[in-house]
């Protein structure tokens, strides 16, 4: 499946002042070539399987209904690399931490007695790491039977020296502490942080500012439009609740909806979020702005938004292209979500030779089917990046 992902990596500022000093035309052409190539890139879908009651499913929409009959069962979501558990009413995040290196995906989950973590790599358990907390006493095992002497083996002929084998692809825990685990998968070695678990608190942590810890007073009905051109009717839309506006970690709560009209309108009814911060994803086919025909392949667009004071948030190329840059500014540079979005959007529009001073609202307020300078700029970028003219 073709994916439209990660044009602005979080590890790079990407849009520097030096590149803004070049001529607008050369910048537009360079970015058009690079980003249009990205539109045709194929995303790699990871298909891990785990020994869980439900197993691995592609998205949260593929989960069975969480009822009392399956309470206690677990599942792994391959799209988001999350472990979820059914509490009898809804699927909840199990506090998992994931590291992806090469073709290897390793995830750690808390042990039920709180004494440490079990680590899964590529869907298989490779061991546990203890955190120093005393666990419950184990049950004393039965004495084993005495072993029997085996018959002596025949003396074999001397064999020839073997050649060095290639590195295996299995994963092992090389060393660990209460905070980290060093994992080796074939020739790849990496460290997993065992401290970054999401637990949705009843109130904000004292270290998180009020601006980054906005809560919603009641359930809302989240609506908007999803456009590259407009996504086709029936396209899936998923909203993921984020812990707060500082960590931007998912809590495990998800809500789904679909595109309902030809202009890309979607409606997710009764979104019951504790936090006002959400990550919204559209995954499907769209109407090509150049040809007027539906796209031949599906793409995925995303948006990060603060829902405090709003009940609508649009998904488009600008919300998608700014996403990694906003993540970087918030989690690495201690910026608020609003300030990070304003900075990322200024950089992004400048790269296309566009001054966004005077544009109304943020990227999630833009709509290619409406009038206004910001909407016109979004349409121009969307057409420019189509790449099949």
- Nearest Cα neighbor of 386 from 70, 75, 32 is 32
Q: 377 with 350: CB under 8 angstroms? A: no
What's the per-residue H, E or C state across 104-166?
EEEEEEECCCCCEEEEEECCEEEEEEECCCCCCCCCCCCCCCCCCCCCCCCCCCCCCCCCCCC
CA angle 292/283/377 to nearest 5° reads: 55
Write out the two tokens for 277.
Answer: 């911060």
Q: What φ, ψ does residue 17 adopt, rounded to 5°?
A: -65, -30
Residue 62 pLDDT more than 70?
yes
Residue that has been written with the tokens 């949705």 in this structure? 200
Whole-number pLDDT of residue 254: 82
The mean-pLDDT minimum among 24-33, 159-168, 293-302 falls in 24-33
Residue 100 pLDDT more than 60?
no
Q: Which residues pair with 266 in a beta bridge?
A: 224, 259
Q: What is the pLDDT of residues 351-383, one digit of tens each?
A: 999 999 999 999 999 999 999 999 999 999 998
The residue that leads in pLDDT, 30 or 310, is 310
- Nearest Cα neighbor of 54 from 71, 77, 75 is 75
Specify burial of residue 89 (Cβ count, 10 A radius: 0-12, 13-18, 19+): exposed
Residue 29 pLDDT more than 60?
no
CATH topology of domain 17-44+201-384: Immunoglobulin-like (2.60.40)
Whole-number pLDDT of residue 119: 82
Whole-number pLDDT of residue 88: 74
Average pLDDT, the chain: 74
In whole angstroms, what is the distance from residue 197 CA to residue 79 CA? 18
Residue 316 pLDDT more than 70?
yes
């Amino acid at each position: 499946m073709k994916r439209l992902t990660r044009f602005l990596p979080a590890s790079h500022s990407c849009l520097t002042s030096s590149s803004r000093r070049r001529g607008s035309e050369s910048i537009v052409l360079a970015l058009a070539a690079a980003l249009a190539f990205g539109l045709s890139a194929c995303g790699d879908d990871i298909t891990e399987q785990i020994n869980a009651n439900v197993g691995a499913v592609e998205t949260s929409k593929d989960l069975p209904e969480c009822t009392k009959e399956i309470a206690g069962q677990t599942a792994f979501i391959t799209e988001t690399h999350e472990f979820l558990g059914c509490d009898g009413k809804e699927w909840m995040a199990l506090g998992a931490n994931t590291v992806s290196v090469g073709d290897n995906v390793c995830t750690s989950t808390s042990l039920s007695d709180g004494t440490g973590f079990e680590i899964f790599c590529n869907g298989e358990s490779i061991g546990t790491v203890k955190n120093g907390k005393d666990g419950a006493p184990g049950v004393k095992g039965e004495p084993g039977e005495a072993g029997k002497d085996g018959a002596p083996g025949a003396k074999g002929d001397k064999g020839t020296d073997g050649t060095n084998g290639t590195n295996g692809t299995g994963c092992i825990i090389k060393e660990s502490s209460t905070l980290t685990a060093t994992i080796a998968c074939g020739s790849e070695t990496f460290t997993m942080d065992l401290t970054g678990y999401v637990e949705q608190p009843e109130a904000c942590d004292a270290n998180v500012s009020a601006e980054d810890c906005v809560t919603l007073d009641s359930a809302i009905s989240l609506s908007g439009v999803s456009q590259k051109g407009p996504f086709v009717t029936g396209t899936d839309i998923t909203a993921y609740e984020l812990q707060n506006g500082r960590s931007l970690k998912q809590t495990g709560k998800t809500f789904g909806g679909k595109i309902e009209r030809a202009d890309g309108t979607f409606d997710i009814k009764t979104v019951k979020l504790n936090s006002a911060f959400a990550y919204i994803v559209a995954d499907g086919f769209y109407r090509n702005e150049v040809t007027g025909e539906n796209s031949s392949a599906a793409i995925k667009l995303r948006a990060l938004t603060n829902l405090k004071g709003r009940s609508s948030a649009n998904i488009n190329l600008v919300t998608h292209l700014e996403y990694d840059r906003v993540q970087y500014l918030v989690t690495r540079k201690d910026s608020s979500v609003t300030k990070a979005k304003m900075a990322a959007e200024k950089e992004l529009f400048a790269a296309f030779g566009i001054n966004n001073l005077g544009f109304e609202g943020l990227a999630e307020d833009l709509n290619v089917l409406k009038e206004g300078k910001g909407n016109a700029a979004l349409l121009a970028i969307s057409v420019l990046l189509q790449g099949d003219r």
